[in-house]
Structure 1
Amino acid sequence: MQRRVRADDVRARAGEILDGLVASGRESGLQAAAYLDGEPLLDAHAGRADGPGGRPLTSGTLVHSFSTGKGFTATLVHVLAERGLLDYDTPIARYWPEFAEHGKGRATVRHALTHAVGVPQLPAAVTPAELCDWDAMCAAVAAQRPLWEPGTASGYHGWTFGWILGETVRRITGLTPADALRRYVTEPLGIADELYFGLPRSELARTAPLVEGGWEAYLEALPPTVPFRRYVAPNRSVWTTAELANRASYLLSDLPAGGTTTARAAARLYAALLGEVDGVRLLSPERTAYAAGVAVDGKDLMLMARHAKGLGYFLGLPAMAGERTAFGHHGSGGSIAFADRERGLSFALTRTRLVSPRSDTTARRLSDAIRSAVA
């Protein structure tokens, strides 16, 4: 379908928003990118990668974007399913026998994608060093007793999503999640040097440090008894803060619950879920529609709010204008990447300042400006 779009207006308006946010001090460094019908529409940036007086942030600067990377993990799983390497309704324990412990033998790949396995919890005293130890964390997750019977409820598996699906991928392909992402997703799309789980050491210098801008205070204000604080983030050392994300050991670790990327690479990935991008399409139209359809719709037991979820993606988030034909994932502090099936549009925002969701309007302002220009 041919769409009318005022590309110059999109770029001018997005540049005005980005520059204004940085000039006001509300943001320190931002990237925004969009594709329309498989073609680049926007690739913009503003601010500094190292704070005032530091090096400029560019379109090629890498930015750790926390759970935005879950969308990359889900995409990898769907690509493997498209190739017949896994099945959504196969028990995870078929691929990873140790995972069957404590009644998890019936938990399926579908349950993992919809946060329904029942194992969102981390060991209470887990440390950042342990978080970065793949074998230790996979063993710890496999040994956990589910908080609910798998498949009977959905509750955000903030960290454990990565190990559950990542180890499943490793058992199936024989590749680490980072290597599997490269082989099956990023190399075909030409973004293997811009979208990662764990970074190669050579890429640390390209990665912008994150700064706190209200996100840590938001986490601190959550009562320790709420499920997210009690189970998903049980101690401060593994909160998704700038302090954690700026550790080299963390950035180098293969952690598919998060991701480090540029906005233009993330937007390109989602564009390739909607259609061809330079001759490459990651999934068939039928597979994309299935993955992005409503699989779960109700109260999330960890987030304590109603959410619609597809298979590994959130649907209708505020930056998506609440439209359930849009699917993707956001990250702690306000980054996001998603695709809008109705408009043939993909959008990604990365940011170096981690902000509270209570005051954050940046992604919505930018995505609204782009949507308004697409007819």
Structure 2
Amino acid sequence: MSGSGTAGAVDVRGTVAEGFEQVQDAFVRNFQQRGERGAAVAVYRDGRKVVDLWSGTRDVDDDDPQGALWAVDTAQIVRSASKGVAAAVVLLLHQRGQIDLDAPVSTYWPEFKAAGKERVFVRQLLSHRAGLPVLDRPLTPAEAADGVTGPAAVAAQRPVWEPGTDHGYHAQTYSWLIGELVRRVTGRTIGRWIAEEVARPLALDFWLGLPADEAYRVGRIGPVDEPATADGGGLTLRPKRAVAEAYNDPASLSRRAFGAIAPFPDHNDAAFRAAELAGANGISTARALARFYAATIGEVDGGPRLFAPATVTLARTEESAGQDRVLVVPTRFGLGFMLHGPASPLLGPTSFGHPGRGGSLGFADPESGIALGYVTNGMRKGVTADPRAQALIRAVRSAI
């Protein structure tokens, strides 16, 4: 199926391969029942694109019937879905022999060993076990983006638990930890490395550090209403209450981790979009996110693959599991990737990827050969298991 059409008063454009029509049906229902304003979804199977759909408005706050519609090349900020792409950089450097995952971080970044961090290892940065989810002093948005203050702050920070003994989501500090590690090893910023070594060879519309000449393609994100649905976010009532309590406590690790940049940055601001925050401000199309993950597990359209089989095994291997000290729910992490589990259900046990706060998601599933990218401009409150993304995953699972 190709072209465009109206499905239940939702104007959906793009293509769907035979057998994957139910993914389009789920995409339509996201607009009809789950408050979607503008979004895109793409799916690859065994390196071949089988779903590529988009609909709605480019800007979440555009109520003008004649306003800009989501187009074939519309991109959006994907927040923490950026973390998966950043993790791939470190794994690729390991694959090339440039990073030892079991080396102390200070091997590459000598200043990092301050404040008792001599025995923090590279794999602990990736798996949220470094004990560095918070800063003693939050950074301003300008400091967070300048490429200097953030790395200096995490290098000087004392861990809040003994590294390696527990895990907790490094929501904001991940950007400076991974970004500076890559810069020290390669001499390039992580945004430049991604552009030259990943995005260009794979023809991806993905940027960490948005070029000014691409800004016209990027829509505005913002909050959307959260209608009650029967297929909620995958978390039971009790964890949701615990999360709410943690986020309402200014002294909690949850509040402080997400508040490591204060005030909260405007994700639609041009300066923020141009920054290179590896865990927070990647900008992508759904097609690029899906194609990236497809390339981690195999060739795409006969082109290059990113991960050797041994690296795929590393990506899907559990490093952290159990109650997350920041997210306050049980989470599973590999080396930088979230793994399939109750807090973030993906396609199946072999899946690895990363959601973005508010809704976006990208992942690969080596067992089935599936890779999915979902991008939205409608930000919901959850960090993981967005109901819209979950509906698409269920449809893919049913299709295969």
TM-score by length of 2: 0.85
Deviations 1:98-153 (A, max 9, x none): 11110111111101000111111134442211111110111111111111121111
User: Counterpart of 2:82 in 1: which secondary structure?
Assistant: helix
Distance 1:72 1:102 in 2: 29
Asked if structure 2 preserves the Cα contact closer than 8 Å seen for 1:132 and 1:250, the reply is yes
Residue 55 of structure 2 is aligned with which of 46, 50, 58?
A: 46
Paired with 1:130 and 1:281, the residues of 2 have a C-alpha distance of 36
Letter in 2 for 1:231: A
Distance in 2 of aligned mates of 1:286 and 1:247: 40
Instruction: Name which of structure 1's ranges 268-277 and 221-230 shifts more when overlaid on structure 2.
Output: 221-230
Q: Is the 8 A contact 2:139 2:150 kept in 1?
A: no
Match of 2:285 in 1: 262
Deviation of the 1:7 alpha carbon: 2.9
Q: What does residue 353 of structure 1 align with?
A: 378
Given that 2:40 and 2:376 are in contact with CA atoms closer than 8 Å, whether structure 1 keeps it comes out as yes
Offset, 1:356 = 2.8
Q: Cα gap change, 1:38/1:359 in structure 2, threshold over 3 Å: closer, same or farther? A: closer
The question of 1:32 aligning with 2:45 is answered no
2:274 counterpart (230, 252, 258): 252
**Equivalent residue in structure 1 for 2:298, among 261, 272, 275:** 275
Distance 2:123 2:34 in 1: 42
2:143 and 2:149 in contact (8 A); partners too: yes
Structure 1 residue runs without a partner (length 5+) = 1-5
Distance 1:18-1:236 versus aligned 2 partners, 3 A rule: farther
Q: Distance in 1 between matches of 2:88 and 2:176?
A: 15
Write out per-residue CA displacement over residues 41-68 of structure 1, whole angstroms, 9 at most, x where no aligned residue.
1111110102233211123111101000
Partner of 1:372: 398
Q: Distance in 1 between matches of 2:40 and 2:56?
A: 9
Asked if residue 57 in structure 1 is aligned to residue 70 in structure 2, the reply is yes
Q: Secondary structure at the match of 1:70?
A: helix
Amino acid in the other structure paired with 1:268: R
Q: CA deviation at 1:265?
A: 0.5
Look up the match of 2:329: 305
Distance across 2 between alignment mates of 1:235 and 1:321: 29
Partner residue in 1 for 2:256:
230
1:126 aligned to 115, 135, 139, which one? 139
Is the aligned partner of 1:85 residue 2:107?
no
Give 1:1-375 correspondences, 5 Å limit: 7-10=17-20, 12-23=21-32, 26-50=35-59, 51-52=62-63, 53=65, 54-191=67-204, 194-213=205-224, 222-224=247-249, 225-233=251-259, 237-238=263-264, 244-258=266-280, 259-277=282-300, 278-317=302-341, 320-321=345-346, 323-357=348-382, 360-374=386-400
**Match in the other structure for 1:3:** none
Structure 2 Cα separation of the partners of residues 321 and 337 of structure 1: 9
Q: Following TM superposition, by how much is the alpha carbon of 1:87 offset from its aligned partner in structure 2, in angstroms?
A: 0.9
Q: Which amino acid in 2 is paired with 1:237?
A: P
Taking a change above 3 Å as real, the CA distance of residues 360 and 291 of structure 1, as seen in their structure-2 partners, is closer
Higher fraction of helix = 1
The number of aligned residues is 360
Amino-acid identity (%): 36
Secondary structure at 1:134's aligned position in 2? Answer: coil
The aligned amino acid for 1:14 is V
Root mean square deviation of aligned Cα: 2.2
Q: Distance in 1 between matches of 2:212 and 2:346?
A: 38
More displaced stretch, 179-188 vs 83-92: 179-188
Aligned AA (1:230): R
Residue-by-residue CA offset, 1:254-299 (whole Å, 9 max, x unaligned) = 1101211011101111111111112211011121112211111222
CA displacement 1:159-191 (0-9 Å, x = unmatched): 111111111110111111111112221122111
CA contact 1:315–1:323 (8 Å) conserved in 2 = no
Preserved CA contact (<8 Å) 1:33 1:348 = yes
| TM-score, scaled relative to structure 1 | 0.90
Question: 1:292-349 CA deviation, whole Å, 9 max, x = no partner?
Answer: 1111122211111211111111111466457331110001101110011221101111
Which shifted more, 359-368 or 317-326?
317-326
CA contact (8 A) 1:101 1:142 kept: yes
Q: Runs (4+) of structure 1 moved beyond 2 Å?
A: 6-9, 12-25, 50-53, 122-126, 218-222, 317-324, 356-360
- Cα pair 1:214 1:356 within 8 Å, conserved: no
Which secondary structure does the structure 1 equivalent of 2:93 belong to? helix
Distance change in 2, residues 1:132/1:234 (3 Å): closer
Offset, 1:79:
0.9
